[in-house]
Amino acid sequence: MLFVFIISTFSSCYENCPAFPESLTHYFPYSTGQLIKFENEKNDTIFFSVDGCSTSKDYSRYIFSKEICIAEYTVLLVNNNYSSIQLTVLADDEGVLLNIQFMQAHGLDFFETKVNGVNPFLEKSNQIFGKTLTLTLDKSYHVSNVKIEINKGIVQFTDINTNSVWHLIE
């Protein structure tokens, strides 16, 4: 009897943490191996290849730990000029954090935005950031503006080194 009580008490000390909400992946609808093309006003083109996409699955956590339930979606885009873009979306039951890292040999530009007070596991998470999201950096090494559209991903960014605005070629 004591054994059953102990097992039932400690087995209920775990909380199920949900997988990353699929509807939030619509902000970066990429798949591994996909080629993403951008063009500037001079008709120059650059290509990024989707090197990988990962989405966290559901898991259990010990309720007495300091850890909170976090779900993650990460995409890595690379090109042949040794630059890359890492897109990460973190979700918990209190909000969503989006960060984008443009990495170049001469520096890293880090964009971040957070929406608090929403539960992406319960609400229509495909509208948390709206249909279009623009992120801006005042001081940057390479990229100063990034525009993201739902179901398209990154549709525009500004390269301050070449003074070019790059647009997605669909």
Give the pLDDT of residue 7.
46
pLDDT band (50, 70, 90) for residue 76: very high
pLDDT at 5: 46
- The Cα 170–Cα 156 span in angstroms is 12
Q: Looking at the predicted structure, is the pLDDT value of residue 133 above 50?
A: yes
Q: How far apart are CA 42 and CA 11, in angstroms?
A: 63
* Burial of residue 24, with CB atoms counted within 10 A of its CB: 0-12 exposed, 13-18 middle, 19 or more buried: buried
Q: Collapsing DSSP states into helix, strand and coil, what is residue 51?
A: strand
Q: What is the dihedral of CA 109, 40, 28, 124, to 10 degrees?
A: 100
For range 70-90, the mean pLDDT:
87
